[in-house]
């Protein structure tokens, strides 16, 4: 069994200071001089994105006043504010989810990845690797190393990081992922979810809400799926994802925008999980050791496009606050929207608050620019398209952003 990570030190990272600044910027002074933070403002469990303003115009106006009032005295408030939030551990990032570590060996990719039927190992990678580069693969397929007497895979599957069991699907007929487990992790101020699919079975006693440590067994590799083409023994693998949850209110958004359409997995619907490349993270971590930063890895994603949304009350802002860059104008005048950079898979990896004076357009969602080279080389998500009038968001792109800010 792989060893767990070195016990983390209880220190604040720079992202925590930014998170605290943002939370205090959304606080409002109490008449008695105290500061009312998220829970006192009516945010469910302190999560900014779950609160919806009673009246949008009023909420935005109040937010402007709140930001100005708090930031003027922020230097004095910070030491007090620190007492209100628990210290969060800065952990090592991720372990390999199975004993197969061939990825970090020179030329070891073919021993690590499993391709689709009849295809090269490259189709088992993350990204635009399916159907000639036109289909997205949200995770990586890690090759089996152990088999029982019948040739069935029986590799133990391990938790890649300390976390909590968020979801277990034990009904393989409900997903092409078959039987799978999702774990939730808190790393460098970010909510991260890992997914382990095509299991034979989850570990006995594993249940939603259970805490797990990195390296703990969570299941056994299998062949489960609901696809027409069964996973053959020679292609046995665990499908592994590292995801960011798009929206806490996805269930409501899905019901409103897709009435009558089944949503068997609720919040854990695949459309609500945005993947980042696990192999790139595992390789970078192996090369950089404890200096690897998941936050910096996210911040350095290649930009596909940049948009502006006239909304500030969505859960991504709270869940991924360390990805927010400060803007002195919005600090002073208040937040009226966000400028957001998306990577090729639609992951919002940079958010810049914008004041009303900085928002020139009148639409709720506006496309600012497109990285044409990225759109042409990794355009399998089809989020943007080039027309005679120039670049524009596709319906898929608009749907993604609408579900983000709902």
Residue 3 lies in a domain: no
Residue 313 · residue 59 · CB < 8 Å: yes
For 72, the token pair is 């003027």
Same domain membership, residue 129 and residue 42 = no
Residue 15 DSSP SS3: helix
Residue 30 lies in a domain: yes
Query: Over 90: is that where the pLDDT of 341 sits?
Result: yes
pLDDT, mean of residues 85-97? 61
Strands 163-169 and 211-212, by their bridges, are: antiparallel
Residue 215 · residue 3 · CB < 8 Å: yes
Residue 6 lies in a domain: no
Number of domains composing the chain? 3
Q: What share of the chain is helix, strand, coil (3-state, %, to 5)?
A: 35, 25, 40
Same domain membership, residue 193 and residue 180 = yes
Residue 162 · residue 91 · CB < 8 Å: yes
For 217, the token pair is 């067994």
Q: What residues contact 402, with CB distance under 8 A and at least 6 apart?
A: 253, 257, 365
Q: What is the pLDDT of residue 21?
A: 52
Same domain membership, residue 112 and residue 72 = no
pTM of the full structure? 0.80
pLDDT, mean of residues 254-261? 96
For 127, the token pair is 């990204």
Full domain range(s) for residue 220: 102-291
pLDDT, mean of residues 98-121? 97
For 73, the token pair is 């005295």
Give 113's strand partners: 142
For 77, the token pair is 């408030």
Q: Which of the four pLDDT bands, split at 50, 70 and 90, describes residue 361? A: confident
Residue 176 lies in a domain: yes
Same domain membership, residue 268 and residue 145 = yes
Q: What is the pLDDT of residue 362?
A: 81
Q: What is the pLDDT of residue 32?
A: 34
Q: What is the pLDDT of residue 55?
A: 31
Query: Over 90: is that where the pLDDT of 4 sits?
Result: no
Q: Choose one of 266, 291, 316: the last residue of a domain.
A: 291
Give 190's strand partners: 187
For 78, the token pair is 């910070």
Q: Choose one of 242, 261, 291: the last residue of a domain.
A: 291
Q: CATH code at 159? A: 2.70.70.10
Residue 1 lies in a domain: no
Residue 191 · residue 245 · CB < 8 Å: yes
Q: Report d(CA 12, CA 99) in Å as an integer.
A: 32
Residue 92 lies in a domain: no
Same domain membership, residue 35 and residue 134 = no
Same domain membership, residue 49 and residue 65 = yes
Q: Choose one of 235, 263, 291: the last residue of a domain.
A: 291
Same domain membership, residue 110 and residue 69 = no
Same domain membership, residue 40 and residue 110 = no
Summary mean pLDDT of the chain? 83
Q: Report d(CA 71, CA 329) in Å as an integer.
A: 12
Residue 315 lies in a domain: yes
Q: What is the pLDDT of residue 395?
A: 97
């Amino acid at each position: 069994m792989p060893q767990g990570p070195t016990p983390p030190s209880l220190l604040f990272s720079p992202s925590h200071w930014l998170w605290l600044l943002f939370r205090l910027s959304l606080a409002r002074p109490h008449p008695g001089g105290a500061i009312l933070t998220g829970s006192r403002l009516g945010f469910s469990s302190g999560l900014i994105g779950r609160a919806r303003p009673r009246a949008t115009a009023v909420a935005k106006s109040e937010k402007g006043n709140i930001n100005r009032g708090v930031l003027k005295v922020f230097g004095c408030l910070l030491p007090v504010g620190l007492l209100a939030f628990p210290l969060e551990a800065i952990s090592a990032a991720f372990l390999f989810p199975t004993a197969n570590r061939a990825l970090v060996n020179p030329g070891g990719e073919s021993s690590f990845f499993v391709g689709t039927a009849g295809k090269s190992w490259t189709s088992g990678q993350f990204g635009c690797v399916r159907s000639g580069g036109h289909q997205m693969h949200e995770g990586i397929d890690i090759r089996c190393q152990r088999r029982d007497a019948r040739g069935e895979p029986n590799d133990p599957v391990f938790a890649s990081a300390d976390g909590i069991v968020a979801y277990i699907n034990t009904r393989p007929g409900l997903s092409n992922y078959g039987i799978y487990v999702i774990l939730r992790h808190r790393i460098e101020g970010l909510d991260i979810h890992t997914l382990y699919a095509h299991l034979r079975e989850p570990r006995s006693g594993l249940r939603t809400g259970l805490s797990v440590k990195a390296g703990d067994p969570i299941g056994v590799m299998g062949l489960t799926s609901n696809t027409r083409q069964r996973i053959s023994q020679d292609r046995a693998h665990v499908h592994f994802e590292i995801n960011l949850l798009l929206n806490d209110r996805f269930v409501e958004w899905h019901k409103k925008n897709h009435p009558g359409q089944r949503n068997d997995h609720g919040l854990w619907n695949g459309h609500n999980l945005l993947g980042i490349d696990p192999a790139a993270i595992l390789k970078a971590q192996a090369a950089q050791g404890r200096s690897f930063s998941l936050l910096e890895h996210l911040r350095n994603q290649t930009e596909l496009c940049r948009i502006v949304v006239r909304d500030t009350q969505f859960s991504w802002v709270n869940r991924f606050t360390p990805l927010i860059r400060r803007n002195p104008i919005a600090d002073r005048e208040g937040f009226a929207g966000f400028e957001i950079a998306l990577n090729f898979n639609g992951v919002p990896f940079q958010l810049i608050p914008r004041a009303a004076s900085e928002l020139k357009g009148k639409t709720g969602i506006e496309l600012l620019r497109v990285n044409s080279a990225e759109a042409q080389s990794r355009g399998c998500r089809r989020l943007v398209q080039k027309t005679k009038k120039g670049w524009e968001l596709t319906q898929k792109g608009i749907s993604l952003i609408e579900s983000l800010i709902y």
